[in-house]
Amino acid sequence: MMESPSDRKPMTILFGSIFLVGMGFSIIMPVLPYYAESLGANGLQLGLLITVYAVCQFIFAPIWGAYSDRVGRKPVLLIGIIGYAFTFLLFGFATELWMLYLIRAVGGSLSCATLPTAMAYVADSTSLEKRGGAMGAIGAAMGMGMVFGPALGGLMSQISLAFPFIFAGILGVINAAAIWILLRESLPVEQRITKQTRIERASLLEGLRSPLVVFFLVVLAVSIGESIHHATFALFTQAKLSFTARDIGWSFTTAGITSALVQGLLVGRMITRMGEERTATIGITLLGISLALFIFTYNIPSSILFMAVFATGIGLTRPSISAAVSKRTLTAQGSAMGILQGYDSLGRAIGPVLGGWMLDQGLNNGYYTGVIVVIIGLATLVTGSRRRALNSRPPSREVS
């Protein structure tokens, strides 16, 4: 376990790497719609461009998680970071819309190796008591990267719409070099899973049959609710209040700052004091409240406030669920995190399409749908927690 001061360097390097990944991904956020539009994409095609990325993550994240249990964390981290770097560079030089779909599919298939492997690295390197805080720090590093990325991408778009993608790719190359040179392996050879003769995809159906099924279903619901908001917020506020990209940018910057603060300073302490499931319950409740509040957005300050509540909910929920899964997985951390990431990606594939379709039926319908899905996730977590508590009680003894 990397608990001593002399062993903190690998974790610092990992957090720095995830920060750069978050920055690289978020640099393209304000530019992607306009870049795709410049190549002939309409609204539906843009939504599908987002969905194809998530679908590929859904398919391949469990594979990479299982692969890291076999070959170690560092090689798989490098695959993920080099994959996103390479595809972002290609994205910047695309000349046809079909190229964007192909590159996004390849990018989703490779880049999804990053986060589940990083979480497995944390699980290898921390004690059970400190794991929740460390998972939160991973989220905080990603959140901090996403604070600076959108603003940077917006500025770079003044050079050209393609330049942010090229810059993100260069950032990925630098990140991969740092991982290659500085980060040491966290999974000893003797602890790797070597029985398989070929790499098999960790089955999401197996997840439904495992004791961790509650957490997988909860992260699926949370991911659907979160991605419904991300996919519809711009169109919703534009139609309701004529928000511009700059107005929306303030809200997303607030989300990044709030997420980084919550995951870096708060979630670890709450998990230590209250446990993963209670912390996640609070987070999901705040998420549901925020989705309901967005319906009543009436100006920029209100959108910023509601986005802060939204980011707090997500910031409390994701590290708590990740820590809960990790603590209940004695071996094959990579497979468990890969399955978790798979359900997360499945939600990100469903949410944009569902939210966009419901938005077409009525301005508020996307958020109504998000609230309902999150309530289902909250009920699943509460019911599962109660059942687990009852099953863990020792049998009562009758007094004669």
- Give percent above pLDDT 70 in the chain: 86
Residue 389's pLDDT is what? 67
Closest CA to 36 of 25, 23, 49: 49
Q: For residues 44 and 387, give the distance between their C-alpha atoms in angstroms, rounded to a whole number.
A: 42
State the pTM of this model: 0.71
Q: Alpha helices, DSSP H only, in the chain?
A: 8-27, 32-38, 43-71, 73-92, 97-111, 114-125, 128-156, 163-182, 204-209, 213-241, 245-261, 267-274, 276-294, 300-327, 333-361, 365-392
Residue 196's pLDDT is what? 52
Rg (C-alpha) for the chain, rounded Å, is: 21
Residue 394's pLDDT is what? 52
Would residue 72 be called left, alpha or beta, if left means φ above 0 and alpha means ψ between -120 and 50 degrees?
left
Residue 90's pLDDT is what? 93
What residue has token string 């990044």?
Answer: 256
CA distances (Å), origin 246, targets 31, 47, 242: 12, 21, 11
Q: For residues 338 and 344, give the distance between their C-alpha atoms in angstroms, rounded to a whole number.
A: 10
Would residue 398 be called left, alpha or beta, if left means φ above 0 and alpha means ψ between -120 and 50 degrees?
beta
At 201, give phi and psi (nearest 5°). -70, 125
Residue 218's pLDDT is what? 94
Q: Which two tokens stand for residue 374?
A: 């999150």
At 243, give phi and psi (nearest 5°). -65, 145
Q: How many C-beta atoms lie closer than 10 Å to residue 164's C-beta?
A: 30
Residue 309's pLDDT is what? 95
Burial class of residue 181 (count of CB atoms within 10 Å of its CB; 0-12, 13-18, 19+)? exposed
Q: For residues 56 and 58, give the distance between their C-alpha atoms in angstroms, rounded to a whole number.
A: 5
Pick the CATH number of 5-184+202-392 from 1.20.1250.20, 1.20.1090.10, 1.10.3370.10, 3.30.930.10: 1.20.1250.20
Q: For residues 133 and 178, give the distance between their C-alpha atoms in angstroms, rounded to a whole number.
A: 24
Closest CA to 85 of 111, 63, 47, 60: 111
Residue range 292-350, pLDDT digits in tens:
999 999 998 999 999 999 999 998 998 899 888 877 775 566 677 777 877 887 888 88
The stretches in the chain having pLDDT less than 70 are 1-8, 30, 33, 42-44, 46-47, 132, 194-209, 245-246, 249, 330-334, 389, 391-400
Q: Letter for the amino acid at 347?
A: G
Closest CA to 118 of 172, 173, 62, 80: 80
Q: Letter for the amino acid at 56?
A: C
Q: For residues 192 and 75, give the distance between their C-alpha atoms in angstroms, rounded to a whole number.
A: 13
